[in-house]
């Protein structure tokens, strides 16, 4: 038996490349130009179902309430109750006893379990609390702190005269960032105009009101803007 020594792999590869180049005559192009692909033919159409597959929901009430309390000064719940009621008694806000179960929290004293899903009563309870806190924030934040940077919600100067559209825009942007978390310029373009229209209506109504409210027309208009933002679906639901 005779043995034949196979060539080294590297030598065999080099030999193969030389043979390929010789066989092709050295005419292999170094670059193949791209050619446009033929357009795909439409075979069929399928309707896309874009309908929502789940209802909008509130975040867990503990998370929502913590955001609420931090937004208005990091107060304890009992302090919030005290400030929300103010001198009006139950005219603006009652007490947590009346809202615990409506907000979705369990009430072990009455053997009421935690709410498992969002309902209209829960949303309405959060809206009522939001209205109370907006009014009290305006009184304790805007009217008692002369330096805007010390305010938590109304962090801007407020002229005595009603705001025009140019003066409303930057102040609305501050409130929009505070409640919804992004600049008003990124919101739908009609949002600022709608809020300004609401502001004008409230200002006009308070200017004609009798007896006069403890809030000036401009302050009442800003309170209404606060109501709208804290009740906005982007703030409450996901």
State pLDDT tens for residues 114-131. Answer: 877 777 888 888 888 888
Q: Which domain holds residue 96?
A: 55-146
Give the H or E element holding residue 119: none
- Provide the pLDDT for residue 2: 47
**Alpha-carbon distance 37 to 121, whole Å?**
59
Does residue 27 sit within a domain? no
- Provide the pLDDT for residue 188: 92
- Please state the separation of Cα 21 from the chain's center in Å: 65
Query: In the numeric block, which tokens belong to residue 132?
Result: 């109370």
Of the candidates 120, 146, 172, which is a domain's last residue? 146
- Provide the pLDDT for residue 106: 82
- Provide the pLDDT for residue 80: 73
Does residue 164 sit within a domain? yes
| Cβ-Cβ contacts under 8 Å for 72 (sequence gap 6 or more) | 80, 133, 136, 137, 152, 153
Of the candidates 126, 146, 166, which is a domain's last residue? 146
- Please state the separation of Cα 164 from the chain's center in Å: 26
Of the candidates 146, 170, 194, which is a domain's last residue? 146
Does residue 15 sit within a domain? no
Helix and strand tally (H, E) in the chain?
A: 8, 0
**Alpha-carbon distance 128 to 172, whole Å?**
22
Distances in whole angstroms, Cα of residue 35 to Cα of each of 32, 39, 113, 203: 9, 12, 68, 66
Query: In the numeric block, which tokens belong to residue 235?
Result: 């703030």
**Alpha-carbon distance 24 to 36, whole Å?**
27
- Provide the pLDDT for residue 192: 94
Q: How many domains does the chain have?
A: 2
- Provide the pLDDT for residue 18: 56
Residue 182 shares a structural domain with residue 127: no
Does residue 37 sit within a domain? no
- Provide the pLDDT for residue 184: 94
- Provide the pLDDT for residue 229: 92
Residue 215 shares a structural domain with residue 184: yes
Residues of the chain below pLDDT 50: 1-4, 6
In a 3-state reduction of DSSP, which class is residue 112?
strand
- Provide the pLDDT for residue 198: 93
pLDDT tens digits, 199-218: 999 999 988 877 777 788 88
| Cβ-Cβ contacts under 8 Å for 84 (sequence gap 6 or more) | 92, 93, 129, 132, 133, 136
């Amino acid at each position: 038996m005779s043995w034949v020594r196979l060539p080294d792999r590297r030598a065999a590869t080099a030999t193969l490349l030389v043979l390929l180049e010789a066989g092709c005559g050295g005419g292999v192009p170094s670059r193949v130009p791209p050619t446009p692909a033929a357009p795909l033919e439409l075979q069929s159409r399928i309707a896309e179902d874009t309908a929502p597959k789940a209802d909008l929901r509130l975040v867990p009430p503990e998370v929502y309430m913590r955001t609420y309390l931090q937004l208005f000064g990091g107060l304890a719940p009992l302090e919030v109750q005290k400030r929300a009621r103010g001198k009006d008694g139950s005219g603006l806000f009652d007490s947590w006893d009346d809202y615990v179960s409506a907000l979705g929290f369990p009430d072990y004293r009455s053997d009421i379990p935690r709410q498992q899903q969002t309902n209209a009563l829960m949303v309405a309870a959060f809206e009522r609390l939001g209205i109370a806190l907006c009014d009290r924030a305006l009184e304790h934040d805007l009217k008692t702190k002369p330096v805007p940077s010390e305010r938590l919600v109304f962090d801007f100067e407020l002229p005595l005269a009603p705001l025009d559209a140019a003066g409303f825009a930057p102040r609305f942007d501050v409130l929009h960032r505070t409640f919804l978390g992004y600049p008003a310029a990124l919101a739908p373009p009609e949002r600022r105009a709608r809020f300004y229209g609401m502001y004008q209506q409230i200002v006009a109504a308070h200017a004609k009101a009798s007896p006069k409210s403890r809030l000036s027309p401009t302050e009442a208009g800003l309170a209404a803007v606060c109501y709208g933002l804290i009740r906005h679906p982007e703030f409450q639901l996901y």
